[in-house]
Amino acid sequence: MRTAETNRETKETQISVTVNLDGAGHYDVETGIGFLDHMLESFSKHASIDLKVRAKGDLHIDMHHTTEDTGIVMGQAVRQALGDLKGIRRFGAAEIPMDETCTRAAVDVSGRPYLIWKVSFSRPKLGDMDTELFKEWFQAFAQAAGITLHVENLYGDNNHHIVESSFKALARALRQAIELDPRASGVVPSTKGKLGG
Count of beta carbons in the 10 Å neighbourhood of residue 181: 12
d(CA 121, CA 178): 30
Q: Model confidence over 9-44: pLDDT tens digits?
A: 999 999 999 999 999 999 999 999 999 999 999 999
Q: Model confidence over 117-154: pLDDT tens digits?
A: 999 999 999 988 999 999 999 999 999 999 999 999 99
Q: Model confidence over 61-109: pLDDT tens digits?
A: 999 999 999 999 999 999 999 999 999 999 999 999 999 999 999 999 9
Q: Model confidence over 178-188: pLDDT tens digits?
A: 999 988 888 88
H or E segment at 40?
helix 34-47
Domains and CATH numbers, the chain: 3-184 (3.30.230.40)
Taken in order 65, 70, 75, 81, is the CA torsion positive or negative? positive
pLDDT for the residue 194:
72
Closest CA to 32 of 2, 69, 59, 12: 59
48: left (phi over 0), alpha (psi -120 to 50) or beta: left
What's the whole-model pTM score? 0.96
d(CA 149, CA 172): 12
